[in-house]
Structure 1
């Protein structure tokens, strides 16, 4: 990091801190002593740590200089006119515009608590802040969040399918928003959450969401994330899922937008026979940077985890995959698998892969791997020989490459949303 970039990063961190000082009593929950203390502690940590930089090992491959240079120094996050919303796919939809719950655009279930976090902060003292605050972007979120999704599914309940839509507005200046989402599934409950983030093509904005997810014993959460931010936007997301005995957290993330995106997932398997599946795909074109970083903590015996990530890079783009599996001494009979594969469609594309295993138990079955390659010329020739145009043939091979990562998504609504998000990607990048 050069002196100019370092100065910009310090200025940006200072602007966020100044905003917090100016708004701290006006932020949601400003009169709740426990929340005021939580925010102040997060601000103190962020003041000391600042924005992450490449000297930090976990950020070695992702440079936040473009965010520092954008200068998100607005006094308030103002919800301006939002882009037109896509048609509803699921029975229920929670809409957030610039990080704030839009009740007039949402259709919420009545069978269980689900709605605005800002309106329900009083009952969240024991839940908010469970994710370690030694992560600078989580600290930034904690000190500045204005709203988010608060979902509490009772034990044994079938929550069905909920669509969550996060939309950036057509703001006239760079804006930043930091929604905090608290999701809890009681023992034996089940839910499918399809989350999509969208934004205007040319707008400069920062979307910094944090998810705190608690999956009860025997419960199942299927969490499908579709990131389609505007090409000039930034998304830095952190997800933490704590899974109890016999529970399952199933995450699929598609990164297909934004100038720079970091998808960071922390999952903890806390009880016997808990399971976690973290799969995903990254599609990055010229000028884009896509980073997926995962940390899977096997803290209990007889747990299983599966990770499959595919990255497709075109033009001058960069992809990152960092995945760590920690197996604690108590986690005997762990079954962990991790694979990431990259397909480079350009000589200027670059991928950084860093799979890791840290094992302290002696009865485990763990493996990881990484591959990097280009399109198979023999397969391309085969398709061309049968009259398929070159660009269509390349698109078919790209889709075939992604199949393994996507096939774990079984909900038909989620499948349709993913198909729409990926359709025509290669043709657009090749144009």
Structure 2
């Protein structure tokens, strides 16, 4: 059987791997991609975020062997033994594959929580339209492994770590993990996700897809820390399906990668459900960070909230696209969006596109966006009290981003985000001095 030929250059880096598949789902996804290609600037959802960076490499499938000592070094930097995350049960993937030796044994997971690997029983769950979500179709064609978590009804599962590490020893690689989290009626879980990688001779492309199913009365808090390597590409898609009286709360902190996108599709399917899709980004050195969401109110008396804050230096660029769709049945909807950005350099920029699409007539929906620089009066006040300029800038930026991180309810996740944010701010003081 012949290999699939991409319709444009966008899929050329994956042409060798998008060959014939025996599995009907993979074969269909690869065939659809051959017709549509990857999205370009004419696709509205990707108008502000270019995927040209993918054309710089030929992405190979990562080797199953890796430097275990180097992985342990990364793990220790992410989860120091004295840190708040160290005691938590963890599921670790390296280059998109679950590594049992680095993960907690199944017996250490809370009672009522079951884990299995995607590789053992592939189940693609929610399917996306290739016309709308071609990166999910690419994931469907190339997914090798991932995690499947199931929390039984009325089980309080506590906190679980999901860690995705990248190790590129020779040449560019790509991996496409497929994750799913299912909460039964009245269950609860805090999933703390960390994506990180090592600087190596080859770039890498991390294209994860996570499907979340939150049953009636359940609560899922999903906290994500993105600390990919400087030359990495991280394009993540999340689907959340929320039943009545259930909640899905998420927060993503974007620090790494040359190109990153965190895209959330949340659907409120039952009355009195709620969803929070919050985030913050600290970008510099030509990084591009994109936070995109589509929140669909498909039932009455539901609430959605989204707050995103960005701090941009040098030639960094951020993108915020937030759409709230209120269907006709969704009366008494309460929806709110706010995007704020601090530009610390005249060459930094942000594209913001909040959207409201409303078909019901009894709703309360609003959105807003602000863009500005640091307050000169506040800087003067701090400098007048003996604080150096770089330190004053750090204090104001940290306060700006910490206010966004305060939306995280879980105290352990909040502490971990605060530590990562402080470390990133300290490392970028020199950039702020140049930007000023």
Q: TM-score of the superposition, structure 2-length normalised?
A: 0.90
What secondary structure sits across from 2:251 in the alignment?
Answer: strand
Q: 1:343 to 1:142 in 2, by over 3 A?
A: same
User: Could you say which residue in structure 1 is the equivalent of 2:117?
Assistant: 116
Give the corresponding residue for 1:257.
256
Distance of 1:377 and 1:9 partners within structure 2: 51
CA distance in structure 2 between the partners assigned to 1:261 and 1:345 by the alignment: 20
Check 1:154–1:131 CA distance in 2 against 1; reply closer, same or farther (3 A cut): farther
CA RMSD of aligned residues (A): 1.8
Moved more, 85-94 or 277-286: 85-94
1:239-272 per-position Cα deviation (integer Å, ceiling 9, x unaligned): 0100000100000001100000011111000000
Q: Verify: 1:387 aligned to 2:386, yes or no.
A: yes
How many residues of Structure 1 are paired with residues of Structure 2 in the alignment?
A: 409
Distance 1:114 1:221 in 2: 16
Alpha-carbon separation, structure 1, partners of 2:239 and 2:110: 26
Partner of 1:49: 36
Give the 3-state SS of the residue equivalent to 1:417 in structure 2. Answer: helix
Task: Tell me the residue number matched to 1:30.
Answer: none
- Give the CA deviation at 1:79: 4.3
What's the TM-score, normalizing by structure 1? Answer: 0.91
Partner of 2:433: none
For residues 248 and 319 of structure 2, the distance between their equivalents in structure 1, rounded to whole angstroms, comes to 23
CA contact (8 A) 1:91 1:161 kept: yes
Moved more, 219-228 or 78-87: 78-87
Q: Is 1:40 equivalent to 2:31 in the alignment?
A: no
Kept in 2, the 8 Å contact 1:268–1:297? The answer is yes
Mapping of residues 25-424 of structure 1, within 5 Å? 25=22, 36-72=23-59, 74=60, 77-81=63-67, 82-83=70-71, 84=73, 85-86=75-76, 87=79, 88-107=85-104, 108=106, 109=109, 111=111, 112-121=113-122, 124=123, 128-134=125-131, 135-202=133-200, 203-424=202-423
Contact 1:114 1:152 in 2 (8 A): yes
- C-alpha separation between the residues in 2 aligned to 1:175 and 1:292? 24
C-alpha distance in 2 between matches for 1:370 and 1:110: 41
> Any idea what the Cα deviations from partners look like across 1:43-63, whole Å, max 9, x if unmatched?
111111111111111111111
CA contact (8 A) 2:231 2:258 kept: yes
**Deviation string for 1:372-402 (max 9, x for gaps)?**
0000000000111111111111011001111
The 8 Å contact of residues 195 and 226 in structure 2, kept in 1 or not, is answered as: yes
Deviations 1:123-146 (A, max 9, x none): x4xx62344444100000001000
Unaligned runs of 5+ in 2: 80-84, 431-436
